[in-house]
Every structure is written in structure tokens, then in C-alpha cells.
Chain A
Amino acid sequence: MSTSTIIAGARKEGRSLLTEIEAKQVLEEAGVPVSPARLARTRDDAVKMAKELGYPIVLKIVSPQITHKSDVGGVALNLTSADEVGAAFDGIIASAKRHVPDATIEGVAVQRMEKPGIEVIVGMTKDPQFGPVLMFGLGGVLVEVLKDVAFRVVPINERDARQMVHEIKGFPLLEGYRGHDPADVARLEQLLIKVSQFIEQHPEVAELDLNPVFAYKDGALAVDARIVLD
């Protein structure tokens, strides 16, 4: 499905929040590297999609009524075979129905369990004066407690992207702290530019969060994505 179809679909249903699957499809189409997620409506779907994506696999319940997925047993991690995926699919559906009996269950999101990298976050909010503002920071405690983030107004150019990544105080972590692999800073910068281009082309996007993005020594990948429309 194309971006416009997805956005129109959400609007038609009266939703301003895209599902993770929709958000990732939209971003993928815009050239932002994301860990793909597919919607499996049946056990067989899930097994087939897992095979396509490659193991290990993560399954997550998809229901507009369920936001805290793990609280209702709606998440299964590190599944390494078709049997495990199949059993987890059944388990998740059953558990979700038991916890939230009147929930509309659309299915289960199937995605790769990505190998961990350095966690960074990319976000966008709209400033009443300056319009869309892009944010970059290191994930976890560094952003929440220390507010170690960099901002730029959309659109950003290559220099802006470079400055965003370099100006956070935690930048040495991306350079390979204490023997860890250095992050692929160039790919992070590219990711920021792609996100900026996406936002520029879609003024109807009110908020965006890629959290976390895994920064690897040879690439960057948005593992979770959240998009809110105006």
C-alpha cells in the first residue's frame, strides 16, 4: 500500500495514530531504513512471514484498543523456528482475548528481532513558531533525564544532519566507547535527512517518533516507529 492510501485509510477510520505496521510501511516507502513489520491475520500467515523475514522473530498483538501490549501477554520475543512462531501466534491471540474480551484484534505484527546496536532516537514535533522541528538524541536515560538532544528545523541539509549528530554530549558513545564498535555516523545522518524529506513531503504528519533506532557499525535501523497525523 502506498503512503497516501495508508494515510487516507487511517483518516477514514477516524484514526490520527498510524499502527506500527502502517508507520513502518510509510517510512520504508520514504527511504528510511526500518525493521519491516507485517500484519499476520492467521497462524499460517505468521509462519510464512517469519520465514520471509528471517529468524529470530518478534510477534506483537495489533489492536486499536491495546496500547500496552506486553501487559496483556501480547508480545513474544526471540522466536527461532516455524513451530515457535505458530505457537506464539496462538498464545498471543488467546491471551489478548482473555485480558481484553471486547478488543478488536486485527492480527499479529511479525518482525525480525534485530540485533542490538547503540540506541538513538529521532523525533519530530511541530513548534508553533518554526513549524516541524526534528530531534536527535541517544536513547534511554540520556534523552529522558539529561535531555541530551539536538534540534533542527525541517528541512535539514547535510551540514545540519552532521551538526545534529555531533553536537549531542553523548557523541563519544557513537565514536566507539571503551572498545565498542563505532556507529555508522554517515548512515545516521542519511536517516535524519530522509526523515526530514518525508516530513517535508507530508505536512499532515503532526508527530513522529523512531524509538529506538539501532546504530550499527555498518548502518542504522529504526526498530519502532510511531506517526501521528494532524
Chain B
Amino acid sequence: MPISPDHLRRVLNPRSVVVVGSKKADAYMWLRNYSTFKDGPLYSVQIDPNEIPGIEAMGVQNFTSLMDVPGDIDYVMLAVPRPVAPRVLADCAKKGVAGVALFTSGFAETGEEEGIRLQEQVLQIARDGKLALIGPNCMGLYNRRLGIRQSAEQGAGEAGDVGFISQSGTHGINFGLVGEQYGVRVSTSISIGNAIVLDVPDYLDYLADDPETKVIAMYIEGFKDGERFVRSLRRAASLKAVVVWKGGVTDAGARATASHTGALATPTAVFNAVVRQAGGLLATSLEDTIDVVKALLYAKPATGRGMGLMAMTGGQSVVITDAFVEAGLEVPRLSEASYEQLRGFFNIIGGSYQNPLDMGGTIGYGGGTGNMKRLFEILDADPHVDAIAMEMASGFLARMWASNPASLDTLLDTLVEHRDRSSKPFVAVLQPQHVEDVVRQARLRVQERGIAAFASFERAARALRRAIDYHRFKAGLD
């Protein structure tokens, strides 16, 4: 009996949570991770009398048996030693718990007989007890809105809009942590572990239907049922963008995959084709995944590939052009009407306006003049331009932004005004250069204003290209 969508929704949006096996040795990790959960009771189950005072000192009521916990239980984090996991899981079933995340590891992933046997036992108990089991060998759920986290460093409170499914606990946690630094917030993220009951398609189906989730991303290494994955991916991609970051794409990486999750390898070229055919977008790393998600969230949808490019100097104009063309986008000549207008005011001494617009001398140091607004208006009106990218010249300007924050705000006002008026996607490039610390602060300001900023031309170009690919797929193009 598969877990129903309503059942899974309850487990991933719990109103009552129990941590079994919290202990001092890991500084009560799970209770700390869930300390931001305020939408219902949080209880502990621990039988070791030496551990109980520490748990109670955190203000959490402890029981020595799961059976004694009052009320319905939606979600249990089970972090007990491997030999007792089946017994506690059986208690969960008896108690009628809706879902369990089994943090405990040492099951089939070890390849040893005892681990495989225990996993079979766990599977049987979960099936018989109709338990929505996450894992084993996983970090469970991250629901930002409810404050149920995989790490105490992850954010809590306001709901994010990106769903994440991860076959690795590390990448799942990092997507939440790193993403937040780049303006990408998680709605629901699940570390799926060995996925013996709930698997990638179950979570994908859930996130596809989750109204909080606007974009879905995942880190996967392999599957038990490729054809079912394709069906779910196809359906999800017809509803929202799905970014697939696959680990183990090289032969050596595939060997590592086999020992990590025991997945059967499909040639990378075939896997990539499968994802493309189903309407998914491929990503190659954590940073790349975050970039694509960011382009999908922040840039307006468009299906055209013509770029209008803006850079501050001649050298940057050349390489920004190369980067976007290399990514499969186009940098066309502008319309005669645009050139007509540009001729009227564009400073061609040390600049040019063929597209790219080498505009440093025209907009003035820092971009505070009205000319920048005029350039945006021209590109926005140009029929050959489908999307716009701009170099923010952080190497020259970041120190000024730091000493005079109003100068950055003035620039951002212009960008935001353009972004709000234009229906074309807009991305900014904010390179760390030699002023990484200052640029980080600037980036957070840029993100707060809802502008997608990328750390390099290549990253901006590749991210935007895939966002456009998705909108083309949706529109039935290509």
C-alpha cells in the first residue's frame, strides 16, 4: 500500500513531533534542530536516566516509552542505536504514528549481512504499520515555515519557495544553508537516505502539488525504478520547473555512487537525455543548482534567446558577450530605432553601443545618472532583445558602496524600477573580484531587492539559459 498524498502532507507538515534517542553526546542535536518548532508539542522519548535531566533542562518533556506520549503523533525523528531501531519502529506503528524519519544508519548501505537483514525488518514493520518512513540513514525533513530543520544553522520562520529532495544529507543541509545566502529559500526539503518506503517520485509528486513550492530541485545518485521517476518528473515539470543535480556522472563517481546508495548505473548521456525529454533541467553542482533555481525564481519568464548586454568597460563587454554566446544564447545587433536613440547621447569615447553596451562612460561612475534608465528603456523596447544582463562592476564600485551605501541604493533603485516595468528577464553579475567581503554585503542587499545576482558571467549565462530552456519547454518550443 503506497502512502497517500494526504498522509504524506501530514507527515511533512506535522503538528506534533517526537524525538526518540536525543543524547548529550551529540549535544541533543535533534531537539536543537527542532527548537524552532512552535506549531505544536515537541516531546522526547529517552530511557537512559543519565540523558533525561539534560533533555528536561531544554524545556522538553521526556517519556520513557513512545506509548506514553499523549495525543496523535505526526512526525517522529528516530535516532537510536541500530539494534533497537526495529523495536522502536514497531512502537511507532502500534501507536499509530503518521511518519518516521529514521536517522539511524548501518543498514543496507553498509553492504554487510546484518545491515541488510535489519533493513528488511524495518521495511516490513513500516509496511505493516502503514508508516510513512523517511530514510533510514537520513537527516529527515526541513520545513522552514514550521521550523523543523536538518541542522540548527538552517533558517526558520517564513516559508521559502523551493522544494529540495536529496539522496545525500550533506547536500540537503547545504542547499538550505548556502541557498539562503544566495536568496534561495527552502519550502520543504527532504533528506531521503536509503529511501526504502518513500522514494524520489513520492516526494516529487508531493512537491509538484505543494502550493508553497514554486521550483523543485534535487540531488540524486540513482533510482530503484527509473520509469517511475520519469513519470513523476514529467508530471512535476509540466507544473513547475525541476532542476536535477546528478552525482556520479563519471565512471569513478559512479563507483562511489554504488557504495553510497547501491544504485544501478545508467550512462550519463542517457540519463541527461531522459531528464531533458521529461522537461527537467540539469545542474552539475550545489552552486550550479542554486544558480538555476535563482534564475527561475527571480528572472521573469521568457522564451527568446536574444540578450541585451550591459557592461562598464571594453574588456568586460567582450567577455560577457563570449559567456552568453557560449551558454547558447544570442547577442544580436539592436534595431535601427535603438541605434538612432543611442547615437543621440551614448558616449563613444571609451565606449560603444553595438550590443553589448560598453556603457561606463555613458552612465557615469556608479551609475547614478539618468542615462542608465534610458539604456534600460531602449533595451526593453528593442524587439531583438529578449532578456537583459548587466555587469555591476563590483571591482570598481564595491568600496564605494561600502563607504557610501546610498550609492548602491541609488543603483538598485534604477535596477528595481527597470525590473518592475519590463517583462523581460533581468540578471545582474556581481563578481567577488578582490573585494569579496564587501561584495558579499552588496549581494545580500541586491537579493533583498529581488534582483538575481550571479558571481560570474558564465554562471549568470548558464543559469539564464536553462531558465529560458524551461519556459521554451513549457511553451512547446524546440
Which one of B179-187, B267-275, B357-365, B403-411 is at the interface? B267-275
Which one of A6-14, A126-134, A222-230 is at the interface? A126-134
| Residues 124-162 of A contacting B (Cβ, < 8 Å) | 127-131, 133, 147, 149-153, 156, 159-160, 162
Q: Which residue of A lies closest to B269 (CB)?
A: A151
Tell me if A128 and B270 are in contact (CB < 8 A): no
Q: Which residue of B lies closest to A129 (CB)?
A: B226
B227 in complex: contacting residue of A130, A150, A160, CB < 8 Å: A130
Q: Which residue of B lies closest to A150 (CB)?
A: B273
Q: How many A-B residue pairs have CB under 8 A?
A: 47
Closest chain-A Cβ to B220's Cβ sits at a distance in Å of: 12
Q: How far is B478's CA from A150's CA once the two chains are assembled, in angstroms?
A: 15
Q: Does A163 make an interface contact (CB < 8 A)? A: yes
Bin the interface of chain B by size: 10 to 19
Tell me if B273 and A129 are in contact (CB < 8 A): no
Q: How far is B223's CA from A166's CA once the two chains are assembled, in angstroms?
A: 29
Tell me if B274 and A130 are in contact (CB < 8 A): yes
Q: How far is B234's CA from A130's CA once the two chains are assembled, in angstroms?
A: 13
Instruction: Please name all residues of chain B whose beta carbon is closer than 8 Å to the beta carbon of A160 when the two chains form the complex.
Output: 277
Q: How far is B273's CA from A152's CA once the two chains are assembled, in angstroms?
A: 6
Instruction: Please name all residues of chain B whose beta carbon is closer than 8 Å to the beta carbon of A152 when the two chains form the complex.
Output: 273, 277
Instruction: Please name all residues of chain B whose beta carbon is closer than 8 Å to the beta carbon of A128 when the two chains form the complex.
Output: 226, 264, 266
Tell me if B266 and A159 are in contact (CB < 8 A): no
Interface of B is mostly: helix
Q: Does B230 make an interface contact (CB < 8 A)? A: yes
Closest chain-B Cβ to A104's Cβ sits at a distance in Å of: 38
Instruction: Please name all residues of chain B whose beta carbon is closer than 8 Å to the beta carbon of A127 when the two chains form the complex.
Output: 226, 266-267, 270
Q: How far is B230's CA from A127's CA once the two chains are assembled, in angstroms?
A: 13
Q: Which residue of B lies closest to A163 (CB)?
A: B478
Instruction: Please name all residues of chain B whose beta carbon is closer than 8 Å to the beta carbon of A159 when the two chains form the complex.
Output: 476, 478
Instruction: Please name all residues of chain B whose beta carbon is closer than 8 Å to the beta carbon of A131 when the two chains form the complex.
Output: 226-227
Q: How far is B60's CA from A184's CA once the two chains are assembled, in angstroms?
A: 72
Q: Does B276 make an interface contact (CB < 8 A)? A: yes
Tell me if A163 and B276 are in contact (CB < 8 A): yes
Closest chain-A Cβ to B337's Cβ sits at a distance in Å of: 32
Q: Which residue of B lies closest to A125 (CB)?
A: B270
The 3 closest A-B pairs by CB, nearest first: A129-B226, A151-B273, A130-B226
Excluding A129-B222, A129-B226, 15 further A-B contacts by CB distance (< 8 Å) are A127-B266, A128-B266, A129-B227, A130-B226, A130-B227, A130-B230, A131-B226, A133-B270, A149-B269, A150-B273, A152-B277, A153-B230, A153-B274, A160-B277, A163-B478
- Sample (14) of A-B pairs whose CB atoms are under 8 Å apart: A127-B226, A127-B267, A128-B226, A128-B266, A129-B226, A130-B226, A130-B230, A131-B227, A133-B270, A150-B273, A151-B270, A153-B274, A153-B277, A162-B478
